[in-house]
Structure 1
Amino acid sequence: MNEDYYELLGVSKDASTDQIKKAYQKAARSLHPDVNPDPEAAEKYKKVSQAYETLKNPDKRRQYDMGGGPGMGGFPGGGAGFDFSDIFDMFAGASGMRGRGQGPVPRQRRGGDILRRTTIDLRDVVFGTEQKITFRTAVLCQTCHGSCAAEGTSPIRCTQCNGSGHVQRVAQSLLGQMVTMAPCPTCEGHGDIIEHPCTACAGHGRIQDERTLTVKIPAGVEHGTRIQLRGEGEVGEAGGPSGDLLVELSVAEHDVFHREGDDLVAQVSVPMTSAALGATVPLETFDGVQELRIRPGSQPGEEITLKGLGVSPLRRERRGDIRIELDVMVPTGLTEEQTELLERFSALRGEETPRTGGRRHGGMFDKIRERFRDL
């Protein structure tokens, strides 16, 4: 045991720590008992390991260089201070104590979220509403109240893992025995065992049932809006926290109005005479019947606004407007008498008509002829 440690590792006395480590790893690959069964190789492996344990530590190396002699570091499997981390770097597959448990796994888990869709009317968008939603989901078992155990019983500690939820597993590797941690197969990592599961929920702590909730829908929502109700989703395993309920809204089409921002828009058809002479037309709105005043001489496409009768926007008080676009109806299928009356009306206004050939005084054709005379 009086060999020169530097010579054993094949490095100079002024070698760096990194050079010493690489020299040791190179030697260990060929001398380790799992690789080389030769008894002499095993003996040399111990010496090389002892040399490395001494030289890699600055304090031990300094004492060795000052004449402290060999035998300061021990060898794998015996002696104090041996660090497996260096040889783990040498063998890529080695990972030491892996998966060390952090305690038993709780049985309780958060429940899933639920998405339900419902249809509302445009009136509901204007004023807001409440609607009942019925759905089937997981609810808390009222027999065991989430304990998962039959009435009068309770879970017992797992004897295989002693309640830790994890057990040690020993495997052979190039480095000898390797110890890892794994979930206990008896209790599945929970640390306790339910010997007598609740018969109502089969030991899950929850059952399937139908629920009905009243959902408040605010004014101003849009098609596709989702309302989130926290904690109203399915109950988790073993009475764990509930998920959320998401209600997605679909707005049905209205016969008269459609929405543009916070305004309600519609088209109203009026006779030509009403557009020309003016009229008051009753209009059914979500706030009741309103008078739509059509001024004399209104033109097709003209817009009339009814203030404050539109949609109430989210998080604001001021409502939008109702905008009415006029569609002036031109009469068709005129009788002879109606035709004569319109011709007389046209003549009184000096307007050109196809039946008169466009020769009335002051008409469009007369104006064109006058312009040509001036050229």
Structure 2
Amino acid sequence: MSENRDYYEVLGVDRDADARTIKRAFLKKARTVHPDVSDDPEAEAKFKELNEAYSVLSDEQKRANYDRYGTADGPGGSGYVDINDIFGGMGMDDLFSSFFGGGAGGGARSRRERRRGRDMAISLSVTLEEAALGCKKTISYDRLAPCEDCNGTGRAEGAQEKQCSRCHGTGYVTTVQRSFLGQVQSSSPCPDCHGEGTVIDHPCETCDGQGRTPSHEKIDIDIPAGVSTGRQLRVSGFGEAGLRGEPSGDLIVNVRVADHERFKRNGDDLYLVSDISIAQAALGCEIEVEGIMPDEVVKVTVPAGAQYGDTVSVNNYGMPRIGGGGSRGRLIVQLRVVVPTNLSNKQRELLRAFADEMGDDVASGKKSVTDRIKSALDDILD
């Protein structure tokens, strides 16, 4: 607590207040400053301050030390005591359940919500082609499925489900603890019905009254065209079965699209590298590349003067857009200008002539005798 705050000021009581007045002041303030009931962003700090003040002033010896030395433990002491110790070991959930009608967690969920089966998750890998086209995949997994012998009820033939006599159908039992504040009630799931509120007089032997048994499942999953890594597909009712016929949870399929040897993906766009010659780059051309769809041929117009690494995009040849009404992303082609390594004599002469025209310095064109003989033969053959 801040050294500038006085414990009596925190509780709002006079220095001669008796124990009853201090207790009532604490309870009154606690109802308003506890973090679970106050919207004040400083509620937690204020409640800790209130807790500290009460832990000192409610103890006769610590209060005497505080009045004399300004600290609960005498000179140099801190005086702080955990509020759970003050209340006889009871947690704050139990204490504020008696204050506000529920614990700090906001109260228990309904039994029906608790009895619903758990959701399950499974990973599924598809190729980029499968993701582009959409496909149907068969997956297998293990789960708790409704018991076939009792149809998920958990009851043997002729058995009945009756109200639990211990908790009287509430699913909870209440215990009472005593503290200097008086009696404080706390609730916990009933040990006889495990929080269900009902018991079965003759449970199914196959599932031991649970209404579900281990099962190996195989189901078909529809993969939508355009699916991407990280997308979750939810299959309703194929998760873990609920207790005694309660609804099953869902199966959540986490999709992963495998890398492709030719295409790279970014969102709905596809990237592809294509080789072109020096002449094609300089003069411009039209090339054809294979698309992601079966037998798809994409015509790409390369502008004159294209440089190594330049890109050309073609609309509507990328991945399908989910919910896009049939539209697709772009195919982006990165150009890779390939320099020839095995030139014929005629090609070499043409390049030298081009270099001379451009004023470029190139290697000497002088030929050896062997080169001249080979050149003459090439000219004859040409």
| TM-score over 0.5 for the pair | yes
* Secondary structure, aligned partner of 1:115: strand
**1:118: how far off?**
0.9
The change in CA–CA distance for 1:185 and 1:307 in structure 2 (over 3 A counts) is closer
Specify the alignment match of 1:81 in structure 2: none
The change in CA–CA distance for 1:204 and 1:20 in structure 2 (over 3 A counts) is same
Distance 1:226 1:243 in 2: 15
**1:233: how far off?**
1.3
Is the 2:87–2:179 contact (alpha carbons within 8 Å) kept by the matching residues of 1? no
Counterparts of 1:218-237 in structure 2, within 5 Å, are 218-237=224-243
Structure 1, residues 210-245: CA drift from partner, whole Å, max 9, x if none?
223333333333221222233331111222222122
Is the 2:264–2:270 contact (alpha carbons within 8 Å) kept by the matching residues of 1? yes
Specify the alignment match of 2:207 in structure 1: 201
Distance 1:191 1:169 in 2: 17
How many residues in Structure 1 have an aligned counterpart in Structure 2? 271
**1:265: how far off?**
1.6
TM (norm. structure 2) is 0.57
**1:312: how far off?**
2.5
The change in CA–CA distance for 1:340 and 1:174 in structure 2 (over 3 A counts) is closer
Distance 2:312 2:126 in 1: 28
Distance 1:315 1:106 in 2: 35
The change in CA–CA distance for 1:206 and 1:345 in structure 2 (over 3 A counts) is same
The change in CA–CA distance for 1:202 and 1:335 in structure 2 (over 3 A counts) is same
The change in CA–CA distance for 1:174 and 1:293 in structure 2 (over 3 A counts) is closer
Is the 1:107–1:237 contact (alpha carbons within 8 Å) kept by the matching residues of 2? no
| Runs of 5+ unmatched residues, structure 1 | 1-18, 26-90, 358-375
1:326 aligns with 2:332: no
Distance 1:153 1:277 in 2: 87
Specify the alignment match of 2:297 in structure 1: 289
**1:141: how far off?**
0.9
The change in CA–CA distance for 1:342 and 1:165 in structure 2 (over 3 A counts) is closer
Q: Which amino acid in the other structure matches residue 329 of structure 1?
A: V
Distance 2:175 2:190 in 1: 10
1:352 aligns with 2:346: no
Is the 2:311–2:335 contact (alpha carbons within 8 Å) kept by the matching residues of 1? yes
| Runs of 5+ unmatched residues, structure 2 | 1-16, 24-85, 103-107, 366-382
Distance 1:304 1:165 in 2: 67
Distance 1:191 1:120 in 2: 45
Distance 2:307 2:255 in 1: 38
Alignment equivalent of 2:323, drawn from 315, 330, 337: 315
Specify the alignment match of 1:55 in structure 2: none
**1:344: how far off?**
3.0
TM (norm. structure 1) is 0.58
Identical positions, percent? 33
Structure 1, residues 152-180: CA drift from partner, whole Å, max 9, x if none?
32245556666666778799999999999
Distance 1:250 1:224 in 2: 6
* Secondary structure, aligned partner of 1:354: coil
Structure with bigger gyration radius: 1
* Secondary structure, aligned partner of 1:355: coil
